Copies of this chain bind each other. A is one copy, B any other.
Amino acid sequence: MVGARSIPQATVARLPLYLRVLREAAAERATTLSSEVLAARVGVTAAQLRKDLSHLGSYGTRGVGYDVEYLVREIGRRLGLGEERRVAIVGAGNLGQALARYGGFSSRGFRVVAVFDADPAKVGTLVGSTPVTHSSEMAAALGEARVDIAVITTPAQSAQRVVDTAVGAGVGSILNFAPTTVTVPPGVAIRQVDLGIELQILTFYQQRVESASGVRPCP
Protein backbone atom coordinates (compact mmCIF):
# COMPACT_ATOMS: atom_id res chain seq x y z
CA MET A 1 0.00 0.00 0.00
CA VAL A 2 1.16 3.50 -0.76
CA GLY A 3 1.06 6.63 1.33
CA ALA A 4 -2.62 7.41 0.81
CA ARG A 5 -4.88 6.92 3.81
CA SER A 6 -7.41 4.53 2.40
CA ILE A 7 -11.11 5.24 2.43
CA PRO A 8 -13.29 2.13 2.96
CA GLN A 9 -14.99 0.86 -0.17
CA ALA A 10 -18.42 1.16 1.38
CA THR A 11 -17.72 4.81 2.11
CA VAL A 12 -16.49 5.49 -1.42
CA ALA A 13 -19.73 4.10 -2.79
CA ARG A 14 -21.72 6.53 -0.64
CA LEU A 15 -19.71 9.69 -1.26
CA PRO A 16 -21.44 10.34 -4.59
CA LEU A 17 -24.80 10.07 -2.82
CA TYR A 18 -23.76 12.70 -0.32
CA LEU A 19 -22.52 14.87 -3.13
CA ARG A 20 -25.82 14.59 -4.96
CA VAL A 21 -27.83 15.67 -1.94
CA LEU A 22 -25.39 18.45 -1.06
CA ARG A 23 -25.68 19.90 -4.54
CA GLU A 24 -29.45 19.85 -4.30
CA ALA A 25 -29.18 21.58 -0.94
CA ALA A 26 -26.83 24.18 -2.39
CA ALA A 27 -29.32 24.83 -5.17
CA GLU A 28 -31.93 25.46 -2.47
CA ARG A 29 -29.63 28.03 -0.86
CA ALA A 30 -28.85 25.96 2.22
CA THR A 31 -25.53 27.02 3.74
CA THR A 32 -25.09 24.41 6.47
CA LEU A 33 -26.66 21.04 7.19
CA SER A 34 -26.46 18.79 10.22
CA SER A 35 -25.49 15.14 9.89
CA GLU A 36 -29.00 14.31 10.97
CA VAL A 37 -30.68 16.19 8.11
CA LEU A 38 -28.15 15.24 5.47
CA ALA A 39 -28.28 11.58 6.44
CA ALA A 40 -32.06 11.53 6.34
CA ARG A 41 -32.08 12.91 2.82
CA VAL A 42 -29.58 10.32 1.67
CA GLY A 43 -31.25 7.47 3.45
CA VAL A 44 -28.46 6.48 5.86
CA THR A 45 -28.01 6.96 9.60
CA ALA A 46 -26.46 10.11 11.01
CA ALA A 47 -23.70 8.10 12.69
CA GLN A 48 -22.77 6.47 9.41
CA LEU A 49 -22.61 9.77 7.63
CA ARG A 50 -20.36 11.26 10.29
CA LYS A 51 -18.09 8.25 10.23
CA ASP A 52 -17.89 8.36 6.44
CA LEU A 53 -17.03 12.05 6.39
CA SER A 54 -14.51 11.59 9.16
CA HIS A 55 -12.46 9.50 6.73
CA LEU A 56 -11.97 12.60 4.61
CA GLY A 57 -10.98 14.80 7.53
CA SER A 58 -12.73 17.11 9.96
CA TYR A 59 -14.98 19.14 7.76
CA GLY A 60 -17.84 19.89 10.12
CA THR A 61 -18.30 22.37 12.93
CA ARG A 62 -19.54 21.11 16.29
CA GLY A 63 -22.76 22.69 17.34
CA VAL A 64 -23.41 23.85 13.79
CA GLY A 65 -23.10 21.14 11.14
CA TYR A 66 -21.40 20.91 7.76
CA ASP A 67 -20.82 23.80 5.40
CA VAL A 68 -22.56 22.80 2.19
CA GLU A 69 -20.32 24.61 -0.32
CA TYR A 70 -17.16 23.44 1.36
CA LEU A 71 -18.26 19.80 1.57
CA VAL A 72 -19.31 19.77 -2.09
CA ARG A 73 -15.84 20.93 -3.03
CA GLU A 74 -14.04 18.48 -0.76
CA ILE A 75 -16.03 15.40 -1.74
CA GLY A 76 -15.71 16.33 -5.40
CA ARG A 77 -11.99 16.69 -4.97
CA ARG A 78 -11.66 13.34 -3.23
CA LEU A 79 -13.68 11.63 -5.95
CA GLY A 80 -11.39 13.13 -8.56
CA LEU A 81 -14.07 15.19 -10.23
CA GLY A 82 -11.83 18.20 -10.79
CA GLU A 83 -11.57 17.87 -14.52
CA GLU A 84 -14.03 16.61 -17.10
CA ARG A 85 -13.85 12.87 -17.75
CA ARG A 86 -14.14 11.53 -21.27
CA VAL A 87 -16.49 8.63 -21.90
CA ALA A 88 -16.94 6.27 -24.84
CA ILE A 89 -20.02 4.13 -25.34
CA VAL A 90 -19.39 0.81 -27.04
CA GLY A 91 -22.55 -0.66 -28.54
CA ALA A 92 -25.17 1.70 -29.98
CA GLY A 93 -28.21 -0.47 -29.27
CA ASN A 94 -31.16 0.62 -27.16
CA LEU A 95 -29.22 0.98 -23.96
CA GLY A 96 -26.10 2.48 -25.54
CA GLN A 97 -28.09 5.14 -27.34
CA ALA A 98 -30.06 5.95 -24.21
CA LEU A 99 -26.88 6.36 -22.18
CA ALA A 100 -25.24 8.48 -24.86
CA ARG A 101 -28.16 10.89 -24.64
CA TYR A 102 -28.63 10.60 -20.89
CA GLY A 103 -28.46 13.98 -19.21
CA GLY A 104 -27.31 12.53 -15.90
CA PHE A 105 -23.82 12.00 -17.29
CA SER A 106 -23.10 15.38 -18.81
CA SER A 107 -24.59 17.25 -15.87
CA ARG A 108 -22.04 15.61 -13.61
CA GLY A 109 -18.88 16.28 -15.55
CA PHE A 110 -18.78 13.28 -17.86
CA ARG A 111 -18.68 13.90 -21.59
CA VAL A 112 -19.52 11.27 -24.20
CA VAL A 113 -16.82 11.77 -26.82
CA ALA A 114 -17.25 8.60 -28.89
CA VAL A 115 -19.83 5.94 -29.71
CA PHE A 116 -18.91 2.65 -31.38
CA ASP A 117 -20.93 -0.07 -33.03
CA ALA A 118 -20.18 -3.14 -35.12
CA ASP A 119 -23.13 -2.56 -37.45
CA PRO A 120 -21.98 -0.70 -40.60
CA ALA A 121 -25.50 0.64 -41.08
CA LYS A 122 -25.18 2.63 -37.86
CA VAL A 123 -21.74 4.06 -38.62
CA GLY A 124 -21.90 7.77 -39.34
CA THR A 125 -25.36 8.26 -37.86
CA LEU A 126 -25.63 10.62 -34.91
CA VAL A 127 -26.44 9.42 -31.39
CA GLY A 128 -27.17 12.58 -29.50
CA SER A 129 -24.47 14.81 -30.90
CA THR A 130 -21.86 12.08 -31.35
CA PRO A 131 -21.36 10.24 -34.64
CA VAL A 132 -21.08 6.45 -34.50
CA THR A 133 -17.68 4.98 -35.38
CA HIS A 134 -17.16 1.40 -36.50
CA SER A 135 -15.84 -0.93 -33.79
CA SER A 136 -12.90 -1.92 -35.93
CA GLU A 137 -11.50 1.56 -35.44
CA MET A 138 -11.90 1.45 -31.69
CA ALA A 139 -8.30 0.83 -30.70
CA ALA A 140 -7.04 3.90 -32.53
CA ALA A 141 -10.03 6.13 -31.84
CA LEU A 142 -10.07 5.53 -28.08
CA GLY A 143 -6.53 6.74 -27.70
CA GLU A 144 -7.02 9.65 -30.04
CA ALA A 145 -10.12 10.84 -28.19
CA ARG A 146 -8.24 10.36 -24.87
CA VAL A 147 -11.08 8.30 -23.43
CA ASP A 148 -10.98 7.73 -19.66
CA ILE A 149 -14.01 5.47 -19.26
CA ALA A 150 -15.51 2.90 -21.65
CA VAL A 151 -19.16 2.01 -21.13
CA ILE A 152 -19.89 -1.45 -22.54
CA THR A 153 -23.38 -1.99 -23.91
CA THR A 154 -22.62 -4.71 -26.43
CA PRO A 155 -24.08 -8.22 -26.39
CA ALA A 156 -22.49 -10.51 -23.79
CA GLN A 157 -20.51 -12.44 -26.35
CA SER A 158 -18.46 -9.44 -27.51
CA ALA A 159 -17.99 -7.81 -24.12
CA GLN A 160 -14.68 -9.36 -23.08
CA ARG A 161 -13.14 -8.70 -26.48
CA VAL A 162 -14.23 -5.07 -26.39
CA VAL A 163 -12.90 -4.64 -22.86
CA ASP A 164 -9.55 -6.10 -23.85
CA THR A 165 -9.32 -3.69 -26.77
CA ALA A 166 -10.25 -0.73 -24.60
CA VAL A 167 -7.74 -1.62 -21.92
CA GLY A 168 -5.11 -2.16 -24.60
CA ALA A 169 -5.83 1.33 -25.89
CA GLY A 170 -5.14 2.82 -22.47
CA VAL A 171 -8.66 3.16 -21.07
CA GLY A 172 -8.41 2.96 -17.30
CA SER A 173 -12.04 2.45 -16.25
CA ILE A 174 -14.79 0.16 -17.50
CA LEU A 175 -18.51 0.29 -16.78
CA ASN A 176 -19.98 -2.97 -18.03
CA PHE A 177 -23.69 -3.38 -18.76
CA ALA A 178 -23.29 -6.53 -20.83
CA PRO A 179 -24.84 -9.47 -18.98
CA THR A 180 -21.58 -11.34 -18.46
CA THR A 181 -18.65 -11.06 -16.08
CA VAL A 182 -15.62 -9.47 -17.70
CA THR A 183 -12.15 -9.35 -16.21
CA VAL A 184 -9.53 -6.62 -16.38
CA PRO A 185 -5.86 -6.48 -15.43
CA PRO A 186 -4.85 -4.89 -12.12
CA GLY A 187 -4.85 -1.11 -12.20
CA VAL A 188 -7.99 -0.92 -14.31
CA ALA A 189 -11.16 0.01 -12.45
CA ILE A 190 -14.32 -1.87 -13.28
CA ARG A 191 -17.96 -1.86 -12.27
CA GLN A 192 -20.57 -4.21 -13.55
CA VAL A 193 -24.28 -3.45 -13.70
CA ASP A 194 -26.73 -6.09 -14.88
CA LEU A 195 -30.25 -4.78 -15.05
CA GLY A 196 -31.80 -8.22 -15.19
CA ILE A 197 -29.96 -9.18 -12.03
CA GLU A 198 -31.38 -6.18 -10.19
CA LEU A 199 -34.86 -7.47 -10.94
CA GLN A 200 -33.96 -10.95 -9.73
CA ILE A 201 -32.67 -9.58 -6.45
CA LEU A 202 -35.91 -7.64 -6.01
CA THR A 203 -37.89 -10.76 -6.71
CA PHE A 204 -36.06 -12.61 -3.97
CA TYR A 205 -36.92 -10.04 -1.35
CA GLN A 206 -40.44 -9.60 -2.62
CA GLN A 207 -41.39 -13.25 -2.39
CA ARG A 208 -40.17 -13.27 1.21
CA VAL A 209 -42.66 -10.55 1.99
CA GLU A 210 -45.41 -12.32 0.07
CA SER A 211 -45.15 -15.48 2.13
CA ALA A 212 -43.94 -14.41 5.55
CA SER A 213 -43.95 -10.86 6.88
CA GLY A 214 -41.61 -8.52 8.70
CA VAL A 215 -38.67 -8.86 6.38
CA ARG A 216 -36.81 -5.74 5.43
CA PRO A 217 -36.00 -5.55 1.72
CA CYS A 218 -32.43 -4.51 1.05
CA PRO A 219 -29.88 -1.76 1.54
Contacts and interface: CB of A to CB of B under 8 A. Distances in A.
Interface in A169-208: 172-175, 179-181, 183-184, 186-191, 193-208
Report, as a range, how many residues of chain A touch the other chain. 35 or more
Given A3-B212, A189-B205, 12 more contacts: A1-B215, A15-B200, A20-B179, A21-B181, A85-B199, A85-B203, A104-B179, A104-B195, A172-B210, A175-B199, A188-B209, A190-B217
13 contacts: A4-B211, A13-B201, A16-B196, A17-B181, A78-B204, A79-B203, A98-B98, A104-B196, A187-B213, A188-B209, A189-B209, A191-B201, A191-B202
Contacts of A1: 214-215
B20 A197 contact: yes
Interface in A48-103: 78-81, 85, 87, 94-95, 97-99, 101-102
B196 A218 contact: no
Contacts of A186: 214, 216
Given A21-B181, A218-B9, A203 B173 contact: yes
Contacts of A168: none
A164 interface: no
A179 B189 CA distance: 23
A173 B111 CA distance: 33
| Integer count of this chain's copies in the complex | 2
Contacts of A219: 9
A201 B190 CA distance: 10
Contacts of A97: 94, 98
A202 B80 CA distance: 10
Contacts of A190: 202, 217-218
A124 interface: no
Q: Which of A175, A193, A195, A218 has the most CB of B within 10 A?
A: A195
Contacts of A15: 200, 204
